[in-house]
Structure 1
Amino acid sequence: MLRHTLRRLSSLLSASRREFATKTLFTAQALVKGGRADGDVTSDDGNLKLTLGLPKGMGGPGKHTNPEQLFAAGYAACFQGAIGLAAKNNKAPVKGSSINSHVSLRQDDSGALNILVKFEIKLDGVDKAIAEKVIKDAHQICPYSRATRGNIDFKYTVL
């Protein structure tokens, strides 16, 4: 009991120190009006302007962007940056990379919704063993991976 309490207190203190030691590098801002079925998304700088709509698989017309597409793009783009850093850290001569990102919205037997992310990753210029090492390290570095770890299912395949 005492050990558990001390561990919890230590965890809270560490979290508090991390909050104060963190420097914000960038904040993205987007205004969303409506929802996934009939919404609009606009970034504060105007670079992102999208209409949201249900995909065909959920009964919609499939004519507009959906949140899963946005997440698939954002996560894969962030992961690409982590691959670059992991390749540099491993002195791996990665000449280029691509990720075919799949984000699935799933429903379990209780009706709860959850997400599955699958990446098909290709690293140019390295063999499969080095690619695996770089990708595993990238998964530890990527802020999206860190934020979602333990909360969504994540799988990848090295091509």
Structure 2
Amino acid sequence: MKTLYTATVTTKGARHGHTTSDDGVLDMKLSMPKSLGGEGGKFSNPEQLFAAGYSACFGSALEAVAKDHKVDLGDFSVTAIIDLGKTEEDELQLAATLDCYIPGVDVETGEKLINGAHEICPYSRATRDNIDVTLNLLVDED
């Protein structure tokens, strides 16, 4: 692999700690969500950070595919919903849902773009066959 960019982030104290990138851009306290027995509140957690990265990366992949197909995405958005759960074997497991809103495209075009983005997105490629990923196209009602 030819490296194009390297992100370096250090977290001290795990889910109850603090995470900082080597360039200082990311510098935040983490907390356990209330549903996992934590304090919740105004601090982030690994699942939110993963959702932010996945939705941004998938959006960039969507832009690349749309450009190849000469489709204007308009004011599009990608919402990543990351679930943390347990398998039947009582092991922790992630699942992802990507809600993609592309205004003004027909369903066939939208699905083609989303499926194409899923093929090239580095997050999608990293999670493929490892976690369940559901792709949804959100459309405007007529």
Contiguous gaps of at least 5 residues in structure 2: none
TM-score scaled to structure 1, two decimals?
0.83
Q: Residues 104-143 of structure 1 correspond to what in structure 2 (within 5 A)?
A: 104-143=83-122
Q: Which has the higher contact order (CA 8 A, sep 6+)?
A: 2
Q: Distance in 2 between matches of 1:100 and 1:26?
A: 24
Question: Could you report, residue by residue, the CA deviation over 1:26-72 in whole angstroms, capped at 9, with x for unpaired residues?
Answer: 00011110111x11100011110111111011111112211000000
Q: Which amino acid aligns with 1:70?
A: L
Q: Percent identity?
A: 45
Q: What's 1:88 paired with?
A: 67
Give the SS at the match of 1:156.
strand
Shift of the alpha carbon at 1:156? 1.8
Do the aligned residues in 2 keep the contact of 1:96 with 1:125 (CA within 8 Å)?
no
Aligned CA RMSD, in angstroms, stands at 1.0
Q: Unmatched 5+ residue regions in structure 1?
A: 1-21
Match for residue 37 of structure 2 among 33, 56, 59: 59
1:75 and 2:48 correspond: no
Distance 2:79 2:2 in 1: 31
Task: Check if 1:42 corresponds to 2:20.
Answer: yes
Given residue 38 of structure 2, which amino acid in structure 1 is its aligned partner?
Answer: G
Structure 1 residue ranges, 4+ long, deviating more than 2 angstroms after superposition:
none
